[in-house]
Amino acid sequence: MTNEFVLSLAERGIYTILLVVGPLLILALAVGLLVSIFQATTQIQEQTLAFIPKIVAVLIGLVFFGPWMLSHIVEFTTDLYLNINRYVG
């Protein structure tokens, strides 16, 4: 294995991770922004109000994006296993 091959494999892995967690991170960011705006306008500074909606939004996002995320992870893992002879040796 050459250095370029290892770097390309690591790049594909990082790209897959970012692609899979991206929708959940964007969802958590949007909900966090909405909760922050709500807290600023109502002057409610309850700490749990910042975390509970984000947790619920991410869990709902997992329900909707879960199959898509799983298919991408399985596709990447299957590609790794099918090409294991190129990685070892």
Classified as helix, coil or strand, 79 is helix
| Cβ proximity of 69 and 22 under 8 Å | no
Give the pTM.
Answer: 0.79
Residues in the chain where the model's pLDDT stays below 70: 89
Residue 88 is predicted with a pLDDT of 78
Dump pLDDT digits (tens) for 44-64: 888 778 889 999 999 999 999
Distance, in Å, from the CA atom of 30 to the CA atom of 55, rounded to the nearest integer, reads: 12
**Can you give the pLDDT at residue 7?**
92
In angstroms, the first-to-last Cα distance of the chain is 7
Listed by start position, the domains of the chain span: 3-87
